[in-house]
């Protein structure tokens, strides 16, 4: 039987250690294509490139990524993570992939951060194309620095096992997964949960250009609005578990339809 | 009693006729601030500007937008629609707005196109900040061209009435609205509905740079996967109604949690 085909992308660019660790972790059991941005695309959500052409290049065999995982086919792309998925499917892959992975992102995409994440944007794109799609991000505690992603760590081994299961079972139609890891080293287990309610605030820091114009850097403080809940992604991460939130392509707030109808009836 | 405060943004830029029509339509009953991109930002979804500073400028009084709606406060922003909302809330508005409007977009954002839309990205951002938020887009039939947005049309009058109701009633917590108009002229009524399942395909056209490198333009064909359904945004639009889909910030596929748990149990 031929190996399953896995497409990998991310929003940190193909040079990121997270995507290289992920590609290494699944290359043992799958044929792997990486089609990833040519540099950082954090915060690009489901953005697509509408106004300029997008290019793709094979990554040379002497680049760090190719040397680390020579059995993986590496491509870089000038567009967004969603562009990478769309291009891979139509222009690069030899057939439909059995699984799409996005990440491992440097920084978490739990709670409402999933809305802004290019990592998760790519996952939604895969899901809209009816491919089992999983985003993986590494949570960093306050003060913690970006870690390396140790090849052979318990977490990466568990992740590889999870991916094998996904290839076998698939995912429900129009559903994809948003996984956050509390650490790249220790693996305490998976916890299937829901997205925590959250709030970003104090988001801008003023910056003055040397010529005098004012501008603003985006930053911000995140607040978990449900710190007591035990069934959210953040509660899982705080307890040291890997959170798995199923997301759906259907954005409709079905439970609100009747309420909105009553408001509209009064217009 | 003081007038309600409305924040307006879009993803086509402040020069677009859609945003100018929208600002005119609500300026009669509200104090209006427009904080919109300085040019087109179609397809930017919930993207945020992470790596460069973002600037804001008041639009000069002699610009077309200011001349058309002199009672509106006009600002342009170098960032994305989501940046516009974040900056308006923290740096520009005198107080929290009673309503956020995004649009009127030139082109529909029905079905899965909502995922890619900068118009809807801004609406999600307003909703995440607990402001009643509504996105409005104009559907274009195949072969139809971008229309003007006739000030004083039945549709714009109905829209203004709906906005007044939204100011009064608000929206359920964590729920925002995605409105699509079938035409800017005739108003047949509102239809509260759900997002249609859809598929974009044949998305790339090859382009060759004069120096010989290959690149790809993003294009594509949209297929409504539920053409027989009577409760979707596309069915409403086809019947000539304005579609209203409530969207929620919580992306969790709650109905899939048990199923995912059973898959994870086998890992």
**Do residues A18 and A104 make contact, with C-beta atoms less than 8 angstroms apart?**
yes
Across the interface, of A87, A114, A202, the residue whose CB is closest to B251 is A114
Residue A109 near chain B (CB below 8 Å): no
Contact between A175 and B47 using a beta-carbon 8 Å cutoff? no
B205, containing H or E segment: strand B204-208
**pLDDT at residue B143 in the model:** 67
Contact between A55 and B216 using a beta-carbon 8 Å cutoff? yes
The overall average pLDDT reported for chain A is 95
**pLDDT at residue A112 in the model:** 98
Question: With contacts defined as CB-CB under 8 Å, which chain B residues touch A215?
Answer: 53-55, 78
More confident residue, A146 or B56: B56
Task: Indicate the DSSP class of residue A109.
Answer: -
Alpha carbon of B121: minimum distance to chain A alpha carbons (Å): 9
Residue A199 near chain B (CB below 8 Å): yes
B225, containing H or E segment: none
Question: With contacts defined as CB-CB under 8 Å, which chain B residues touch A162?
Answer: 264, 267
Task: Indicate the DSSP class of residue A194.
Answer: B
Chain B residue with CA closest to A83: the answer is B218
Residue A75 above 90 pLDDT?
Answer: yes
**pLDDT, tens digit (0-9, with 9 covering 90-100), for A177-191:** 999 999 878 899 999
**pLDDT at residue A143 in the model:** 67
Across the interface, of A121, A165, A246, the residue whose CB is closest to B257 is A246
Contact between B116 and A82 using a beta-carbon 8 Å cutoff? yes
Residue A204 near chain B (CB below 8 Å): yes
Contact between B172 and A253 using a beta-carbon 8 Å cutoff? yes
Angle of CA points A117, A254, A264, to nearest 5°: 110
**Do residues A96 and A33 make contact, with C-beta atoms less than 8 angstroms apart?**
no
Q: pLDDT confidence of B186, banded at 50, 70, 90? A: confident
**pLDDT at residue B33 in the model:** 98
Residue B151 above 90 pLDDT?
Answer: no
| DSSP string computed for A218-238 | E--EEEES-TT-SSBHHHHHH
Question: With contacts defined as CB-CB under 8 Å, which chain A residues touch B40?
Answer: 50-51
**Do residues B116 and B155 make contact, with C-beta atoms less than 8 angstroms apart?**
no
Alpha carbon of A21: minimum distance to chain B alpha carbons (Å): 20
Residue B198, strand partner residues: B224
Which candidate in B192, B197, B199, B200 is best for mutational testing of the A interface (most A CBs within 10 A)? B192
With residues binned 3-state (H G I as helix, E B as strand, rest as coil), the percentages for chain B, rounded to 5, are: 30, 30, 45
**pLDDT at residue A146 in the model:** 66
Q: pLDDT confidence of B147, banded at 50, 70, 90? A: low
Q: Choose among B14, B198, B3: nearest CA to B95.
A: B3
| Lowest model confidence (mean pLDDT) among A125-134, B92-101, B104-113, B150-159 | B150-159
Residue B182 near chain A (CB below 8 Å): no
Phi, psi of B89 (to 5 degrees): -65, -40
Helix (H, G, I), strand (E, B) or coil at A205: strand
Pairing of strands A190-192, A242-248: parallel
Q: Is the peptide bond before B104 cis (omega within 30 degrees of 0)?
A: yes
Which token pair is A102? 């996005």
| Average pLDDT estimate for B46-52 | 96
Which residue, chain included where needed, has tokens 């077309």?
B64
Residue A69 near chain B (CB below 8 Å): no
Distance of alpha carbon B34 from alpha carbon B16, whole angstroms: 12
Which token pair is B144? 């139809």
**pLDDT at residue A186 in the model:** 87
Instruction: Using the Cα atoms of residue A228, residue A230, residue A233 and residue A235 in order, give the sign of their dihedral.
Output: positive
Residue B1 above 90 pLDDT?
Answer: no
Which token pair is B22? 């929208």
**pLDDT, tens digit (0-9, with 9 covering 90-100), for A31-61:** 999 999 999 999 999 999 999 999 999 999 9
Distance of alpha carbon B234 from alpha carbon B109, whole angstroms: 10
**pLDDT, tens digit (0-9, with 9 covering 90-100), for B206-241:** 999 899 999 999 999 999 999 999 999 999 999 999
| Average pLDDT estimate for B115-133 | 98
For chains A and B, count residue pairs whose Cβ atoms are closer than 8 Å.
234
Bin B260: left if φ > 0, else alpha if -120 < ψ < 50, else beta. alpha
Percent of chain B with pLDDT strictly greater than 70: 97
Distance of alpha carbon B200 from alpha carbon B129, whole angstroms: 31
Percent of chain B with pLDDT strictly greater than 90: 91
**pLDDT, tens digit (0-9, with 9 covering 90-100), for A218-260:** 999 999 999 999 999 999 999 999 999 999 999 999 999 999 9
Question: With contacts defined as CB-CB under 8 Å, which chain A residues touch B174?
Answer: 197, 253
Chain A segment 32-51 residues within 8 A of B by beta carbon are 40, 42-51
Which token pair is A2? 């031929």
Question: With contacts defined as CB-CB under 8 Å, which chain B residues touch A133?
Answer: none
**Residues in chain A, overall count:** 267
Using CB atoms within 10 Å of the CB of residue A173, give its burial: 0 to 12 exposed, 13 to 18 middle, 19+ buried: exposed
Name the pTM for this structure. 0.97
Distance of alpha carbon B238 from alpha carbon B69, whole angstroms: 33
B182, containing H or E segment: none
Using CB atoms within 10 Å of the CB of residue B147, give its burial: 0 to 12 exposed, 13 to 18 middle, 19+ buried: middle
Q: pLDDT confidence of B141, banded at 50, 70, 90? A: confident
The overall average pLDDT reported for chain B is 95
**Do residues A82 and A33 make contact, with C-beta atoms less than 8 angstroms apart?**
no
Phi, psi of B17 (to 5 degrees): -65, -30
**pLDDT at residue B62 in the model:** 94
Contact between A162 and B192 using a beta-carbon 8 Å cutoff? no
**pLDDT at residue A47 in the model:** 98
Q: pLDDT confidence of B152, banded at 50, 70, 90? A: confident
Contact between A55 and B215 using a beta-carbon 8 Å cutoff? yes
Distance of alpha carbon A160 from alpha carbon A26, whole angstroms: 6
Which token pair is B7? 């924040």
| Average pLDDT estimate for B49-68 | 94
Angle of CA points A245, A250, A254, to nearest 5°: 100
Helix (H, G, I), strand (E, B) or coil at A175: strand
**pLDDT, tens digit (0-9, with 9 covering 90-100), for A136-168:** 999 987 667 666 787 789 999 999 999 999 999
Of chain B, the end-to-end C-alpha distance in Å amounts to 61
Strands in A133-138's sheet, in edge-to-edge order, are A56-58, A73-77, A31-37, A5-9, A99-106, A133-138, A175-181, A242-248, A190-192
Chain A segment 146-175 residues within 8 A of B by beta carbon are 158, 161-162, 165-166, 169, 171-172, 174-175
Contact between B246 and A267 using a beta-carbon 8 Å cutoff? no
> How many C-beta atoms surround the C-beta of residue A198 within 10 A?
20
């Amino acid at each position: 039987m031929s190996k399953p085909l896995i497409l990998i992308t991310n929003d940190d660019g193909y040079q990121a250690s997270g995507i290289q660790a992920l590609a290494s972790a699944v290359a043992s059991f799958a044929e792997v294509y990486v089609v990833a941005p040519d540099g950082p695309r954090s915060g690009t959500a489901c953005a697509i490139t509408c106004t300029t052409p997008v290019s793709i290049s094979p990554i040379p065999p002497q680049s760090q990524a190719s040397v680390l995982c020579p059995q993986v086919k590496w491509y870089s792309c000038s567009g967004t993570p969603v562009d990478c998925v769309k291009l891979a499917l139509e222009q690069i892959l030899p057939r439909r992939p059995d699984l799409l992975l996005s990440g491992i992102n440097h920084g978490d995409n739990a709670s409402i951060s999933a809305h802004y994440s290019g990592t998760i944007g790519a996952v939604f794109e895969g899901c809209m194309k009816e491919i089992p799609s999983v985003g993986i991000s590494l949570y960093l505690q306050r003060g913690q620095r970006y870690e390396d992603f140790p090849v052979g760590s318990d977490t990466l081994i568990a992740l590889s096992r999870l991916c094998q299961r996904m290839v076998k079972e698939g995912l429900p139609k129009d559903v994809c997964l948003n996984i956050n890891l509390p650490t790249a080293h220790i693996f305490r287990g998976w916890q299937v949960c829901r997205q925590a309610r959250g709030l970003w605030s104090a988001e801008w820091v003023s910056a003055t250009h040397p010529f005098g114009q004012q501008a603003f850097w985006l930053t911000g403080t995140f607040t978990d609005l449900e710190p007591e809940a035990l069934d959210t992604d953040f509660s899982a991460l705080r307890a040291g578990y890997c959170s798995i939130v199923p997301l759906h392509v259907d954005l409709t707030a079905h439970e609100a339809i009747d309420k909105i109808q009553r408001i509209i009836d009064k217009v």
